[in-house]
A and B are shown apart, each in its own frame.
Chain A
Amino acid sequence: MNTVIDAHNISKVYNPDTIPVYAVNNVHLHIERGEFTAIVGPSGSGKTTLLNMLGGLDAPTEGYVEINGVNITKMPANKLIDFRLHNIGFVFQAFNLIPVLTARENVEFIMLLQKRPREERDHRVRELFAAVGLVDKLNVRPAQLSGGQQQRVAVARALASKPQFILADEPTANLDSHSAATLLDIMEKLNRDENMTFLFSTHDQRVIDRARRVITLVDGRIASDTAPTSTKIHA
């Protein structure tokens, strides 16, 4: 087994001095390479807070997070940004893309930050846009893409850096069911063909149904964690 994310009893407390809010409460979690896992739970249960901590966007108030065996919790800010650049892909609920850059530039930008050579970038851009089915939208600005198309570009961008895993916080929340299904198809295919690890939060039952492992949060605690049965099928 190959552990990608290892969360050691992490908690996040807001307003510790007044009325403490345990957004995430003592969560212990392992994510293995190749997982396709959904984090579900009612609104306010701590899904976003948990994902942010796993992705190094937010620091836990207790516990620590290891990515590929590296403790990211005490990392200095700039080093952490660099770590995210090389190890984690992000897809947010909305407003993912830089509006002044074309779809292609939004994706290529990540590889430029990684200082990848030009031929590699060109090759990978073509590959990624083919994977998300948007080869005809390379030079279009985000404003001219539908919500679903924007999220597909965001997935392409998240993949561009060849990350260890992709975190997606409610990636389908703003999409109609058809676009949501398409996005899920793409994510599933990448998971199957390239063994890319996906960890996403969602409210949507149709999305939950497609996850192979479902972690349910209630009030910041893990209430249930279904066995990753389908992972075994693929393994």
Chain B
Amino acid sequence: MIFLIAWRNLWRNRSRSFIIIASVAFGMWSGLFIGALYFGMGKARMRIAIDHEVSHIQIHHPRFSDDQEAKYSMDSDSLLAVLESQPDIKSFSLRSVATGMLATTSGSRGIQVNGVDPTAEQTTRNLAGFVQQGDYLNIEQRNRVLVSTKLAEKLKLDIGNKIVVTLLDTAGAITSGAFRICGLYQSENAPQDELNIFVVKTDLDRLIGSNGRVHEAAVLLQKDDVLNQVCNRIKQVFPHLKVERWQDLSPETDLLLSSLNTYMLIFMIIILLALSFGIINTMLMAVLERTRELGVLMAVGMNKWRIFGMVVSETVMLAIIGAPVGLALVWLTVQWLSRTGIDVSVLMGEVMRDFGFATVIYPELPWHNVAQTFGLVVLAAVLAAVFPAWKALRLRPVDAIRG
């Protein structure tokens, strides 16, 4: 009966009920929408990290990541044999890597030269897809190089130009080689773009005197969730090599993903605070309007707990109506926007790219957070109802009836 009275009370002042429902819905909507943006961004960042940057797994000589000298290499044939035998591996790329200097007439800078097999690199990280102008690497053409548009811009380079790179060979001696720019590429990660240039592996191997050796094996898996399994299997076969997962290779991406929940929670709490003040105000008005009625209820035998429960359940009902409305709206919004995506380059320009993010965000509802958000919204409504309900308790039936 208390619930019946509470429920009927909702219909008394429809505009007031509507305001609370709308603000709860809006709270739910904005909390989850921001969540969806974050989550979409986070997932996109993870996909970029895995699909376009570090792959799922990388294998190195244990000393290579500390000082990237050409002598810290691995045997190519044994790697090839093991990686090809793993069914969970979609593709892999064996690379030679050398650090050195790139000198041009307009300046010189430190770079990393990646010697790759064009086909393997393409299937592992879609390098060809990044080529903006000119052509991708081709095994038929010797001494070609792919540089980023960003680097080309800085050093005033263009397709067809010849560049000279100075490197250390496997013996530690200085060597240099000339490459002709065949194409300009651009990935989502601007800082990495400036650092990395790509050549055909055999060209680089010849230059640094490496034969049948590789510095880096990048492995792309069929599915994300077999990562640890495959990683452990490789570790067993090559106990002396360093096998790292994408989380180790791109710790900032991992950190970003794990901090998403915290950000969402903080944001949600801010929204809920605002929401609570609205509810407190509105429910207080509702209680004051009904002073006489509450007085009668207390006079004829409705005890304080029941009065309290009535005011609180009224608010909770509003929250329980408003929250699914907000959920439905955010679902529709996200449905719609996840198709078109939100192009933030208009707002943020190249800032996103500078941090390694795609400039178009595809929001995605964080379903694992929906229940949590729902719970928080209802909890906030309950807490916000406590003060008005307490006010109602303090009424004395005589005063209420005398009015």
| A interface list, Cβ under 8 A from B | 48, 52, 55, 57-58, 77-78, 81-82, 84-86, 90, 92, 95-101, 105, 108-110, 112-114, 157-158, 161
Asked if B296 CB lies within 8 Å of chain A CBs, one says yes
A sample of 16 more A-B contacts (CB under 8 A), given A78-B305, A82-B303, is A52-B398, A57-B299, A85-B300, A85-B301, A92-B296, A95-B293, A96-B296, A98-B5, A98-B293, A98-B297, A99-B12, A100-B11, A101-B4, A105-B1, A112-B1, A161-B301
Within the complex, what minimum Cβ distance (angstroms) separates A214 from chain B?
24
Tell me which of B296, B300, B403 has the highest count of chain A C-beta atoms within 10 A of its own C-beta.
B300
Q: Is the CB of B401 within 8 A of A92?
A: yes
| Cα–Cα, bound, A230→B52 (Å) | 102
Q: Is the CB of A78 within 8 A of B304?
A: yes
Tell me which of B9, B296, B298 has the highest count of chain A C-beta atoms within 10 A of its own C-beta.
B296
Within the complex, what minimum Cβ distance (angstroms) separates B287 from chain A?
15
* Interface hits, B280-311 → A, CB 8 Å: 292-293, 296-306
Q: Is the CB of B293 within 8 A of A77?
A: no
* Given known A57-B397, A95-B292, contact A100–B303 (CB-CB < 8 A): no
| Cα–Cα, bound, A77→B397 (Å) | 11
* Interface hits, B1-32 → A, CB 8 Å: 1, 4-5, 8-9, 11-12
Q: List 14 A-B contacts (CB under 8 A).
A: A52-B398, A58-B398, A77-B304, A84-B300, A90-B296, A92-B401, A95-B403, A96-B296, A98-B293, A100-B9, A101-B5, A108-B1, A113-B301, A114-B301
Within the complex, what minimum Cβ distance (angstroms) separates B390 from chain A?
14
| Cα–Cα, bound, A110→B300 (Å) | 8
Chain A residue, CB-CB nearest to B302: A113
Within the complex, what minimum Cβ distance (angstroms) separates A187 from chain B?
18
Report the count of interface residues on B (CB-CB < 8 A). Answer: 26
B396: chain A residues at CB < 8 Å are 58
| B interface list, Cβ under 8 A from A | 1, 4-5, 8-9, 11-12, 292-293, 296-306, 396-398, 401-403
Q: Is the CB of A81 within 8 A of B303?
A: yes
State the majority secondary structure of interface residues on A: helix
A112: chain B residues at CB < 8 Å are 1
| Cα–Cα, bound, A77→B298 (Å) | 10
| Cα–Cα, bound, A86→B265 (Å) | 49
Q: Is the CB of B12 within 8 A of A98?
A: no
| Cα–Cα, bound, A82→B305 (Å) | 12
Within the complex, what minimum Cβ distance (angstroms) separates A58 from chain B?
5
A157: chain B residues at CB < 8 Å are 300
B397: chain A residues at CB < 8 Å are 57
| Cα–Cα, bound, A58→B402 (Å) | 12
B11: chain A residues at CB < 8 Å are 100
* Given known A57-B397, A95-B293, A100-B12, contact A105–B4 (CB-CB < 8 A): yes
| Cα–Cα, bound, A98→B402 (Å) | 16
Q: Is the CB of A48 within 8 A of B300?
A: no
Within the complex, what minimum Cβ distance (angstroms) separates A114 from chain B?
8
A48: chain B residues at CB < 8 Å are 402
A114: chain B residues at CB < 8 Å are 301
Within the complex, what minimum Cβ distance (angstroms) separates B367 from chain A?
38
Within the complex, what minimum Cβ distance (angstroms) separates A144 from chain B?
15
A92: chain B residues at CB < 8 Å are 296, 299, 401
Chain A residue, CB-CB nearest to B1: A112
Q: Is the CB of A90 within 8 A of B299?
A: yes
| Cα–Cα, bound, A51→B232 (Å) | 85
| Cα–Cα, bound, A157→B292 (Å) | 17
A90: chain B residues at CB < 8 Å are 296, 299-300
